[in-house]
């Protein structure tokens, strides 16, 4: 690269070096011309100069003036570390719509499952019965794993106990049948 030409393609990357006075004269002149046109770089330069001044005041001893030129000469011989590349996944619009469709479908399935579970849990009702604990029905109703299931619009309740391996069906408002007919469950 010829001396005097800007090393950085993007002049916005030179704000830190300019704030510290580390640009060669040709690059400094080019960058200062850029500062007149770029408000963002001007604001950044103001902040960087203030920070450099605060850091300079925090130093407890002063380095010799010739040290700066020696460091800048040595830096020219130091090889820079190559930039790291970031892997960025870019999705097309079609892939984005496909993902959105899948997510919306999954949300609908979850909503339906929650609504169904809520409906099943709130549909059961318990109708208290006065039963003596000494009867077979009373013994079943006092089982520790008793489950009551009632359909929403039906007049019956199923009482189940898995530990006893028994089930009882209770019905309300069944019409009386003639003697030759029976209800079957």
Helices (H), 58-92: 65-75
Instruction: Give backbone dihedrals phi and psi of 157, rounded to 5 degrees, phi first.
Output: -135, 135
Nearest to 125 by CA among 144, 160, 152, 145: 152
Tokens, residue 154: 């039906």
- What are the structural domain ranges in the chain? 11-75, 124-171
Pairing of strands 166-171, 156-161: antiparallel
Write down the pLDDT at residue 1.
Answer: 42
Nearest to 9 by CA among 36, 24, 37, 31: 31
- In tens digits, the chain (185 residues) has pLDDT values of 445 444 556 888 888 888 888 888 888 888 888 888 899 899 998 888 888 888 777 766 777 878 888 888 888 888 877 777 777 677 777 887 888 888 888 888 888 888 877 776 666 555 555 555 567 777 777 888 888 877 766 667 888 888 888 888 877 777 888 888 887 77
Report the distance separating Cα 150 and Cα 146, nearest Å. 13
- CATH superfamily entry for domain 11-75: Anti-sigma factor, zinc-finger domain (1.10.10.1320)
Nearest to 7 by CA among 35, 32, 26: 26
Look up the pTM and report it.
0.30
Write the DSSP symbol of residue 11: G
């Amino acid at each position: 690269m010829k001396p005097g030409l800007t090393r950085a393609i993007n002049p916005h990357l030179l704000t830190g070096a300019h704030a510290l006075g580390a640009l060669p004269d040709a690059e400094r002149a080019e960058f200062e011309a850029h500062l007149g046109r770029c408000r963002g770089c001007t604001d950044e330069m103001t902040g960087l100069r203030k920070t450099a001044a605060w850091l300079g005041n925090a130093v407890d001893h002063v380095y010799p003036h010739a040290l700066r030129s020696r460091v800048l000469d040595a830096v020219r011989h130091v090889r820079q570390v190559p930039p790291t590349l970031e892997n960025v996944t870019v999705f097309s619009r079609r892939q984005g719509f496909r993902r959105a469709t899948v997510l919306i479908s999954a949300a609908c399935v979850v909503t339906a499952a929650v609504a169904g579970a809520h409906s099943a849990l709130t549909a059961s009702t318990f109708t208290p019965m006065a039963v003596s604990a000494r009867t077979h029905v009373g013994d079943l109703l006092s089982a520790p794993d008793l489950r009551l299931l009632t359909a929403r619009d039906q007049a019956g309740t199923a009482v189940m106990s898995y530990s006893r391996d028994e089930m009882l069906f209770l019905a309300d408002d069944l019409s009386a049948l003639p003697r030759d007919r029976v209800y079957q469950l």
